[in-house]
Amino acid sequence: MNQPPFAAREAAWHDALHAAQVLAIDPAALGGARLRARPGPARDAWLAALRTALAPARPWMRLPAHIDDDSLLGGLDLSATLQTARSVSCRGLLARCDEGVLVVPMAERLDAPLGARLCAALDRQWIDGRCGRDGDHARFGVVALDESIPGGDGDDVAPAGLCERLALHIDLDDGVAPGESAVAADAVVAARARWRQLPCSDEALRALGQAADHLGIASVRAVLHALRVARAVAALAGHDRVAHDDLATAGRWVLAARATRLPPSAAQPERQPDARPNASPPSDRDLRDDDPPTDDAGPGDPTTLAEHIVQASCTALSAGLLSRLQGSAGTGHAKREGRHGASRAGTLRGRPVGSRRGDPRGGARLHLIDTLRAAAPWQTVRARERPEAPLRVQLRREDFRVHKRRQRRETTTLFVVDASGSSALHRLSEAKAAVELLLADCYVRRDRVALLAFRGTEAELLLPPTRSLARARRSLAALPGGGGTPLAAAFDAARRVVDDVLRRGGTPLSVWLSDGRANIARDGTPGRTQAHTDALRHARAWRDNDVAALWIDTSPKPQADAQAIATAMGARYLPLPLADGARMLRAVRACAPAR
């Protein structure tokens, strides 16, 4: 990876530092920040700067990954209740975080229920009372530390609902060199008092809306966030109204990361993907000098102003995002949306479903609440029986309850589709039909479907394991055909998907639609002999991972190559020269493991 020059990295750091101070003005109103950064000095320095700017007296909490509802939202303090024999309730973490910042480490691993609770609290800024407690204010901002690898094909993505509610999306990856990190705490305090009332002209608002439109951002919330951020930036800089540069800054921090397409003007090839923040941000120079608002960016025309914002946003697009957007220009939806359903399914593995009577030794986990619940009604009787007992709560063996877990084996059917020139294109449409039919079947049974296509020199996971009919249809519609047959690469890619499914406790099933005539070797060079050898080698390796496979030979005449590969990988071989979607579906169903 070639790093940007030091000056640009330093500028990026100042930009991030500037964002921290803006966030410190009112974390609750801005929702917070999603900080894409790996653990390291840059991230620590950024968090420290935010904390200093926020005023050290304000709450600063970290969210433990496995916090339970009582600790998060407030509820019965079980240990204190047992000790005092009086009901003792405690305030939850969120209520204690009021007026402060909640740091969510490893946000990409955050599970959906916890994410949903954070979202609800962010929306309402209020926690309903539980267990006899009154409700509490919970005005806090969230800093979601996102350590996922951009463009990685893992399923780990921070909950989309949570990210949507966080105004700032800041990237602190390799391109950032932490430098001097002094914050203007006084300016933050001054801005806090007046940012909300700063006037913002109608055309500025219009320009923000247009910019969001150009970048393909559907959510109105993003525009609202951008407006709030622009106000806060202006207040911090000492402006008496929202200036054009403030809007551009807001665009960079709020709109850029949410973009789902490139604006028409920026989609030209001359824009280099490595155009990371080289347009030097206004950064903290604006904070110190009391610059008058720079209003020279045109005669208040919202169209040009919108372009100004879009341009500023584009400079902040990371290389990976930019290339992805160029690939999918104009589809209106980025692929990343909606991975959530998939990652949620991971929690199905051994999900606790209630409790049963049992011995907590031997691996089973004690279900404390249910144990106490089982013992509770007998306490008066037992106390009468054994008044000398030292313990206030008398537990007996028959009270013990342990967690009952349900490990649902859900089947994920992976379609590996040959989209090369040799597989006639109409095959592709049959495969599409089969996938859709199977998916319609799956969503009744709550199983999942994935789609991998290979053509040219590589294999691409078009549809990560999903249940969403809407997503499947969209990605299928966009599946192109033509090019070489890189079978070996397809095996590698399929292996990754299957491993992922196994790791999550699912049962994978692979369906291969190809004529088996490989002509691209593993290293990407053309040549039929080497390609076939490579494919056979990978096929034999496939047999070892013990994943059920079905090979559907799609060529008009059954091919010896395909049969050889299918035999090597231990797949059922099925020549289907006239396959239609429905027949394919029946074949796949027959192959599916018994449940």
Residues between 58 and 87 that touch other proteins (CB under 8 A): 69, 76, 81-82, 85-87
Task: Answer yes or no: are the C-beta atoms of 515 and 555 closer than 8 Å.
Answer: yes
The letter for the amino acid at 164 is E
Binding residue count for other proteins, defined by CB under 8 A: 81
DSSP symbol at 502: H
Check binding of 314 to other proteins (CB under 8 A): no
Shorter beta-carbon distance to other proteins: residue 172 or 438:
438
The alpha-carbon radius of gyration of the chain (Å, integer) is: 29
Answer for which of 160, 190, 297, 502 binds other proteins (CB under 8 A) is 160
* Structure-block tokens of residue 25: 């003005």
The values of phi and psi at residue 522, to 5°, are -60, -35
Please name which of 257, 357, 352, 395 lies closest in space to residue 313, comparing C-alpha atoms.
257
Residue 386 CB coordination number (10 Å): 10
Shorter beta-carbon distance to other proteins: residue 206 or 583:
206
Residue numbers 325-364 binding other proteins by CB under 8 A: 337-338, 340-341, 344, 354
CA 343 to chain centre: 9
Please name which of 364, 366, 360, 392 lies closest in space to residue 379, comparing C-alpha atoms.
392
Shorter beta-carbon distance to other proteins: residue 275 or 469:
469
Residue numbers 399-458 binding other proteins by CB under 8 A: 433, 436-437, 439-440, 443-444, 446
Minimum Å gap between C-beta 188 and other proteins is: 19
Task: Answer yes or no: are the C-beta atoms of 564 and 487 closer than 8 Å.
Answer: no
Task: Answer yes or no: are the C-beta atoms of 504 and 345 closer than 8 Å.
Answer: yes
Q: At what angle do helices 202-214 and 220-236 cross, to 10 degrees?
A: 130
Write the DSSP string, 451-510. EEEEETTEEEEEEEEE--HHHHHHHHHT----S---HHHHHHHHHHHHHHHHHTT-EEEE
Residue numbers 264-303 binding other proteins by CB under 8 A: none
Answer for which of 223, 229, 309, 317 binds other proteins (CB under 8 A) is 223
Minimum Å gap between C-beta 151 and other proteins is: 20
Minimum Å gap between C-beta 449 and other proteins is: 11
Shorter beta-carbon distance to other proteins: residue 209 or 486:
209
| Measured distance between the N- and C-terminal CA atoms of the chain, rounded to whole angstroms | 46
Residue 337 CB coordination number (10 Å): 13
Shorter beta-carbon distance to other proteins: residue 157 or 489:
157
Alpha-carbon distance of 366 to 229, in angstroms, equals: 48
Check binding of 395 to other proteins (CB under 8 A): no
Minimum Å gap between C-beta 569 and other proteins is: 29
- Residue for token digits 């929202």? 242
The interface region with other proteins, picked from 109-117, 186-194, 311-319, 565-573 by CB under 8 A, is: 109-117
Residue 423 CB coordination number (10 Å): 24
Minimum Å gap between C-beta 573 and other proteins is: 27
Shorter beta-carbon distance to other proteins: residue 382 or 543:
382
Answer for which of 48, 120, 576, 592 binds other proteins (CB under 8 A) is 120
Shorter beta-carbon distance to other proteins: residue 173 or 447:
447
How many CA atoms, within 13 angstroms, populate the side-chain half-sphere of residue 189?
A: 7
Alpha-carbon distance of 111 to 101, in angstroms, equals: 20
Minimum Å gap between C-beta 77 and other proteins is: 10
The interface region with other proteins, picked from 9-17, 178-186, 467-475, 515-523 by CB under 8 A, is: 467-475
DSSP symbol at 526: B
Shorter beta-carbon distance to other proteins: residue 340 or 495:
340
Q: Is 300 left (phi over 0), alpha (psi -120 to 50) or beta?
A: left
The interface region with other proteins, picked from 113-121, 169-177, 315-323, 500-508 by CB under 8 A, is: 113-121
The interface region with other proteins, picked from 1-9, 39-47, 158-166, 415-423 by CB under 8 A, is: 158-166
Shorter beta-carbon distance to other proteins: residue 311 or 379:
379
Report the length, in residues, of the chain. Answer: 595
Alpha-carbon distance of 495 to 499, in angstroms, equals: 6
Answer for which of 470, 560, 578, 594 binds other proteins (CB under 8 A) is 470
Lay out the site mask for other proteins across 25-64 (x = CB under 8 A, - = otherwise).
Answer: ----x-----------------------------------
Minimum Å gap between C-beta 309 and other proteins is: 14
What b/e string do you get for 102-123 counting C-beta neighbours within 10 Å, with b at 16 or more?
A: bbbbbbbbbebebbebbbbbbe
Answer for which of 99, 147, 156, 164 binds other proteins (CB under 8 A) is 164
Answer for which of 23, 35, 119, 310 binds other proteins (CB under 8 A) is 119
How many CA atoms, within 13 angstroms, populate the side-chain half-sphere of residue 48?
A: 11
Answer for which of 112, 184, 364, 568 binds other proteins (CB under 8 A) is 112
Check binding of 149 to other proteins (CB under 8 A): no
Task: Answer yes or no: are the C-beta atoms of 328 and 160 closer than 8 Å.
Answer: no
Residue numbers 524-553 binding other proteins by CB under 8 A: none
Answer for which of 65, 189, 224, 590 binds other proteins (CB under 8 A) is 224
Residue 332 CB coordination number (10 Å): 11
Check binding of 471 to other proteins (CB under 8 A): yes
Lay out the site mask for other proteins across 180-219 (x = CB under 8 A, - = otherwise).
Answer: ----------------xx--x----xx-xxx-xx----xx
Answer for which of 249, 468, 475, 554 binds other proteins (CB under 8 A) is 468
